[in-house]
Amino acid sequence: MYKRKIISDIKKWEDSLIIKKRALVIKGLRQIGKTTIVKEYCKSKYENIVYINFMENTSIKKVFDGDLVVNDMIRDLSASLPNSKFIPNKTVIIFDELQECANARSAIKPFMIDGRFDIIATGSLIGLRGYNKKKSKGIPTGFEYNINMYPMDFEEYLWAKGIKEDVIEEIKKCFLSEKAISESLNNSFLKYFKEYLCVGGMPDAITTFLLTNDLNQVYDVQRNILEQYKDDFGKHLDDKENEIINNRELVKILEVYNSIPNQLSKENKKFQYSCINKGAKAREYRDAITWLEEFGLVKLCYNLSNPELPLEGNKIDDEFKIYVSDTGLFVAMLEKGTTNNILNGDLKIYKGAIFENVIADAFIKLGKNLYYYSKSSGLEVDFITRYNDKLTLIEVKATNGNSKSLKELLNNKEKYNIDSAIKLIDGNIGKNNKIYTIPLYMAYLID
């Protein structure tokens, strides 16, 4: 099992007397390792584990259709799971694919009030509003501690490769001290980063690459994951929790999904409905975009009316870019052979799209919302974020070239009041006036 950062979030739940009174609910895309990490954690912490997968064991849902009395549920669960043991204060109940059983989620409240058993739940479609149309007994507000889990970030990829911790720490020290990295070390990490651009953070893709070094096999794994995701597009459960597909919704979601590579290929990467088809309107596709974001495959990056804090209060709701939440999957959405272009450094205009997406990817995995700033005058900053509690401009460059927009905002102090900017490049650390230049692979450190 790979070392994952989410363990620190799980330990926060474990160590807090207040939070521990709630069920731990881990949300995220399919196949990012939620079940694996939960099972391994529970093996080390609990004498007894009761595991329920509501997608595989659909018949067990009926246990939660009656009155949600804990003793009655334990009786019925133990009858349905002959090898299970419910020993008070020594047992964790794992609800896997929780979104498939609305009343199991409702049962969290009485279990938490009862207090004899811990509950850890996972779900890949929990965030989809209206996914499960069954009239449930209510969402247990105040009885869940929710964590979002993402595909593996660049540092987790380095751990998986077996890069020594002291080497990774040296990179962090250079970032914090703003000192250049040794050429050999920087070149090694730039090479690892180009691998990561191709492989991404899906555990199966990383395992395939580490075992084979074959990017064609990695591509096949990624394409298979994307096809499985597409099988979920437009999917819902009816009021009896039977799977249904909204075909009208499915078509719209696929059209948005298929347009993403073209949307990001433009010099102005703002999402345009006309790239889907001529005459397309926002009202036709906005729900499909929301579906993909709630599903977890994409993240919207909003333009700001003003580059100032709070960022969320200045976003323009109908001006946004769309980035894929794992760059390995984004590269797999392109044609086979793109990985060769990345490794050889012979991408042209599309290099900007891939580099921007991987920075967005890093921010997503840091739990950040995404914002940018663009004006019709041509002034544009790729990302704006809060870093060290200051508004910070972020620019993504293939080379250490001109930064006209950054300079304009930084030098116009009276109008913008900004004095922090980071430029990410395919190079080394440097400082020029107020612009801090760092290698692309350091994006995960802008926390």
Q: Give the separation between CA 405 and CA 250, rounded to whole angstroms.
A: 40
Same domain, 142 and 170: no
Same domain, 248 and 160: yes
Of 148, 168, 203, the last residue of a domain is 148
- Are 80 and 229 in the same domain? no
Q: What is the CATH number of the domain that holds 94?
A: 3.40.50
Does one domain contain both 246 and 180?
A: yes
Last residue of a domain, one of 132, 148, 164: 148
Asked if residue 1 is part of any domain, the answer here is: no
Residues in the chain, total: 447
Asked if 299 and 384 count as a contact pair (C-beta separation under 8 A), the reply is no
Whether 138 is covered by a domain: the verdict is yes
Q: Are residues 190 and 299 in the same domain?
A: yes
Same domain, 368 and 412: yes
Residue 70 lies in a domain: yes
- What 3-state DSSP class applies to 168? helix
Q: Where are the beta strands (DSSP E) in 284-389?
A: 298-304, 315-324, 370-374, 380-381, 383-387
Q: What pTM, to 2 d.p., does this model score?
A: 0.94
Would residue 187 count as lying in a domain? yes
In a domain, 324, yes or no: yes
DSSP 382: S
Cα 271 → chain centroid:
20
The residue among 148, 168, 188 that closes a domain is 148
Residue 82 lies in a domain: yes
pLDDT number for residue 378: 85
In a domain, 283, yes or no: yes
- At residue 400, the pLDDT reads 65
Name residues whose C-beta falls within 8 Å of residue 401's C-beta, 6 or more positions apart in sequence. Answer: none
Cβ contacts of residue 133 below 8 Å, gap of 6+? 236, 237, 238, 239
Determine contact, residues 77/50, Cβ cutoff 8 Å: yes
| 136 plus 220 within the same structural domain | no
Low pLDDT (below 50) residues in the chain: none
Residue 399, pLDDT score: 67
Rounded Cα distance between 84 and 93, Å, is 10
pLDDT tens per residue, range 74-92? 999 999 999 999 999 999 9
User: Taking Cα atoms as reference points, which of 295, 283, 284, 349 lies closest to residue 322?
Assistant: 295
How far is the C-alpha of 260 from the C-alpha of 328, rounded, in Å?
14
Domain span at 411: 154-445
* Together in a domain, 50 and 199: no
Q: pLDDT per residue over 167-224, tens digit each?
A: 999 999 999 999 999 999 999 999 999 999 999 999 999 999 999 999 999 999 999 9
Question: Which residues does residue 83 pair with via DSSP β-bridges, in sequence order?
Answer: none
Residues 378 and 229 in one domain: yes
- 302 in Cβ contact with 373 (< 8 Å): no
Query: 140 and 264, same structural domain?
Result: no
How many domains are contained in the chain? 2
Residue 367 lies in a domain: yes
Same domain, 124 and 253: no
Q: What are 408-430's pLDDT values in tens digits?
A: 999 988 888 898 999 999 999 99
Do 110 and 228 reside in the same domain of the chain?
Answer: no
pLDDT at 140: 84
The pLDDT value given to residue 348: 66
Q: What is the pLDDT of residue 130?
A: 84
